[in-house]
A and B are shown apart, each in its own frame.
Chain A
Amino acid sequence: MDTQTTKGASARPEFTEAVATTFWQRWMQSDIWHSYKRSPVIIVSSLTFILLVLGAVLSPLISPYTPFDPASLNLMNGFSKPFAANEFTGDYFLLGTDDQGRDVLSTILFGLRVSLFVGVVAVLFAMTLGVILGLLAGYVGGWLDGVIMRIADIQMTFPSIMVAMLLYGIGKGLIPPDLRDEMAIWVLILSIGLSEWVQFARTVRGATMVERQKEYVQAGHLIGLTRWSIMLRHILPNVTSPILVIATISLALAIIAEATLSFLGVGAPKTEPSLGTLINVGRQYILSGEWWILLFPSLTLLALALSVNLFGDWLRDILNPKLR
């Protein structure tokens, strides 16, 4: 017993010298950072994503015009071409304007804000719901597992867009007309969130069923911990890495679902347009030659969804040692 401890103590100092102490040093030595540095695709996509998020968050400060303030709009600015000054007023619009004379760059920045907000909040909602239901199904098991997983199975048989449209329709019917525009975003979040929780629940359930068998959980039972305490403090920390991956991939899906719903006219209202609403507006002018009203919001949506998706794929690979 003594020999073992002294041996361990003498072997360890040289090892600890190599181990970084601060969080930053540890991060710089980690596999994740190493893999990040060597992958140009991920560097580009993560920088794109950060740029888009900054644009969305700072949109009230950095957008050159205030496109949703009717007083600032000038119809003479309508259909200004991109990369040129308007021929009547001399105002410069980098990405052109729409029929009402709104600056396309500014509407994109504000639209990004709506798209990202809906996406992030919907994923957080789906994640909370899915993780709690998945933990319950996996840990408690029995009839509760049966009920939760059958609901999930039924949910999976409907395309998520249909679920979202159904909920959106119900929500619209229940909300008084004068509140509809304000509530539209929240109905959107609820409907997208409800159609995405199944992924989280399934993954967490599977991981929970594996962890539940382990002896550290039994050690928790021995000292009389409650089920909630075991689920949240012991099991949850051990099932988080797949949750992170699914959250990233779900974010891309949620952004696309939001854009689809808004494009179909059942999403974000025109007074508070998201990227999908903007694409829908631009669609009307594509054949009359004003291509920029459609193209620039579409490119932004593409960049956003693609960068999140690529990042999610990379995260899945890096967190799963078997795929490396």
Chain B
Amino acid sequence: MTGETPLISARKLGAVFDVSKPWLNRLLAAEEKKFLTAVDTVDFEIPKGKTFALVGESGSGKSTIGRMIVGLQKPTTGEVLIDGEDLFSIKDQKHLLSVRRRIQMIFQSPYASLNPRWRVKHIIGEPIRAFELMPASEIGKRVEELLDQVGLAKSDGEKFPHEFSGGQRQRIAIARALASNPEFIVCDEPTSALDVSVQSQVLNLMKTLQRELGLTYLFISHDLSVIRYMADQIGVLYLGRLVEVADRDTLFDNPHHPYTRMLMDAAPHIDAFGRTAEIVSGEIPDPINKPSGCSFHPRCALAEDRCQQERPAVRELGAEKAHVACHLSV
């Protein structure tokens, strides 16, 4: 979308889960196999040094995309290219490790993402040992540097995760993610488990680190204010499909897709006192039996007959070239 070659590109990415009951139960109840399409032909690119944000409701497939990009889950269809290479097609173990080193992830829960039985210095040093980045004698010094970089004391390395607050733990998780000198970090709702006051500290830290280290982020969140603060480009997901991809300012100032507009209206605004907020109507539909045509049509105020039958293709709209999948947006 920009001229330069992207660091990460997702090509027709899809994830289908088999959610059928066991074979015998299915046979007895005469049921068909059931499949859940969590992610459906998603395309996007992330240029080096930028932040791409994915936003959507629960169950829209945000986290699944994150997991596929870092290689925790194999895409059912499509591929993820990291600097032009597909992680799942690399056979050479050494080369695979060298590509893995470049991507890292920060998880949602700062409580479950750190092994409670390990000292912090071992948690942070583990990627360095796993990728054999430096001799064992130098790891301690590097861990202290990393602790310092994320705003923790050097002596904190001797402690166990339960001795820290949620925000401090997320700093430890960030330090671990930085340990292998990655270029790209997937942040899967990194602040949604934190207090609002701590959220901003963690977000500021992440921004500072991005500037200093030239990191590229994929930022996953359902919080529009967090996204607005962090992202350069935003993709709006609905039931596993990208309905709108646009630059941050374009998306917030001039949202095209009716779903994007609905999300914007639902978010609390500082100047909205005394006004009745428009509530997002309806629930996200069952992803096993998706609506026909445009999957948003049951909730869309503008929906026509066409929306029920024909799945909208992605079109470029406006001067800013927002990518929108809607028949009606202009």
Contact = CB atoms under 8 A, between A and B. Distances in A.
**Most chain-B CB neighbours within 10 Å: which of A5, A8, A219?**
A219
B151 A5 contact: yes
Interface string B96-110: 110011011101110
Contacts of A218: 72, 105, 107
A238 B116 contact: yes
Interface stretch (B35-43, B124-132, B220-228, B319-327): B124-132
B108 A215 contact: yes
A224 B97 contact: yes
B207 to A, nearest CB: 10
A223 B113 contact: no
Interface in A199-257: 214-216, 218-225, 234, 237-238
B113 A219 contact: yes
Interface size bucket, B side? Answer: 35 or more
Interface residues of A, number: 20
Nearest to A235: B115
B251 interface: no
A268 B133 CA distance: 56
A220 B118 CA distance: 13
A222 B116 contact: no
Given A215-B112, A222-B71, A223-B127, A9 B180 contact: no
A39 interface: no
Nearest to A238: B117
A8 B101 CA distance: 32
Contacts of A225: 130
Nearest to A220: B126
A69 interface: no
Contacts of B109: 215
A216 B100 contact: no
B176 A8 contact: no
Interface string B62-89: 0000000011100000000000000000
B72 A222 contact: yes
Interface string A1-34: 1101100110000000000000000000000000
A216 B113 contact: yes
A267 B221 CA distance: 65
Interface of A: 1-2, 4-5, 8-9, 214-216, 218-225, 234, 237-238
Which 6 residue pairs are nearest across A and B when measured between Cβ atoms? A215-B113, A237-B117, A215-B107, A223-B130, A214-B112, A216-B115
Interface of B: 70-72, 96-97, 100-101, 103-105, 107-109, 112-118, 126-127, 130-131, 151-153, 167-168, 176, 180, 198, 201, 204-205, 208
Given A9-B153, A218-B107, 10 more contacts: A1-B201, A2-B151, A5-B151, A219-B113, A219-B176, A220-B126, A222-B104, A224-B97, A237-B118, A238-B117
26 contacts: A1-B201, A1-B208, A4-B167, A5-B151, A8-B153, A9-B153, A214-B113, A215-B108, A215-B109, A215-B112, A215-B113, A216-B112, A216-B113, A216-B114, A219-B105, A219-B113, A220-B126, A222-B70, A222-B104, A222-B105, A223-B100, A223-B127, A224-B100, A234-B115, A237-B117, A238-B117
